[in-house]
Amino acid sequence: MTTAQSSKLDHKGIIYGIIGAALFSTKPILIKYIYEYGVETTVLMTLRMAFSLPFYLVFGYMAIKQRRAAGTPTDFSFNTIATTAAIGVAGYYVASFLDLEGLTLITAQFERLILFTYPVFVVILSALFFRTKITLATIISLSLTYAGLAVIFSQDLKSFGPNVVQGALLVIAAAFVFAGYVVFSKDKITKLGSRLFTCIAMIAASFAIALHFSIFSDMQSLSQPWQVYGLVLLIAIFATVLPTFFIAEAINRIGPGPASILGSAGPIFTILMATSLLGEQFTLAHLIGTVLIIAGVAWLAKPKPQPV
């Protein structure tokens, strides 16, 4: 591969990562509007996946046809498919459930900032499972990001009470699980291609959510005002389907570490929307915390020499 080609692919990967992060940042805002109608988390997840699943089935079928037509090697072994499904269930069922539950207890901007710290977990998990070195940069990043979270946490604890503790812990757990999705997806994306991997992962997550719903809810709970269906449709298309493909392709092109860093714009978009649309407060403490978090995560993004 030439240097020009590598640079071109890197640029595309960066653009895809930023677009995916920006689209994902709209999710907590739309969800906050949905929660105003008294919708439970399980019902929200079920409706979201009901709208999303047809897209993944169609795109998955198209991806298989395109790869076969192009003669692209694709690993359809049981191990690859089963592992991809498990990764999808973790990343888009377990992490989503924890995140949505936490969002009922904390502000949209705090939720997004907590999730934004998942690159730190990516580095830690990579060190644990792939023996990559934890550097001084990682320690500095960890210190800055969680100092920032502590500043915002202390402010929100005064404003909203002890529920903030539970909400923050739930979203931190979601960030950790999603970091695992990022770390372990790279190898499977290489074997299946980013689009097919995403479709298999999301279809598996959809079945897990359907099973969860069948155990903990009933069909009557799906009867909601038309506004809820409209908001869920927006989430399904613009905050679920499109960004998952953008993020998967970013991981495929530039790797999980750099892809996880490119979410820097996400919290900013969420903060702007949360303060202007939801009327959430943004104090000096929030500003200081946000700067520390973004600086901490950005510390991991220092340019490294690239092979040509």
Mean pLDDT for back-to-back runs of 10 residues, the chain (308 residues): 44 85 90 95 93 93 92 90 96 95 95 86 87 80 88 92 94 95 89 90 96 94 95 91 84 73 76 92 93 82 38
Residue 88: what pLDDT? 95
Residue 308: inside a domain: no
Cβ atoms of 231 and 97 within 8 Å: the answer is no
Residue 308: what pLDDT? 26
Residue 49: inside a domain: yes
Which of 217, 212, 215, 236 is CA-nearest to residue 51? 236
Residue 5: what pLDDT? 40
| The two structure tokens encoding residue 42 | 């399980």
Residue 291: what pLDDT? 92
Q: What is the dihedral of CA 126, 143, 287, 285, to 10 degrees?
A: 130
Residue 255: what pLDDT? 76
Residue 306: inside a domain: no
The separation between the first and the last C-alpha atoms of the chain, rounded to the nearest angstrom, is 7
- 3-class secondary structure per residue, 74-121: CCCCHHHHHHHHHHHHHHHHHHHHHHHHHHCCCCHHHHHHHHCCHHHH
Residue 96: inside a domain: yes
Residue 305: inside a domain: no
Cβ atoms of 111 and 102 within 8 Å: the answer is yes
Residue 307: inside a domain: no
Helical H segments across the chain, by residue range: 3-24, 27-35, 41-70, 78-89, 95-103, 108-115, 118-130, 136-160, 163-192, 194-216, 226-236, 242-254, 256-261, 265-277, 284-299
Residue 61: what pLDDT? 95
Residue 201: inside a domain: yes
Domain total for the chain?
A: 1
Cβ atoms of 299 and 144 within 8 Å: the answer is yes
Residue 126: inside a domain: yes
Q: What's the rounded Cα separation, in Å, for the pair 28 and 46?
A: 16
CA–CA distance from 73 to each of 67, 77, 157, 251, 252 (Å)?
A: 8, 12, 53, 19, 16
In which domain, by residue range, is 125 found?
3-299
Residue 302: what pLDDT? 52
Which of 183, 177, 192, 157 is CA-nearest to residue 101? 177
| The two structure tokens encoding residue 67 | 């790869």
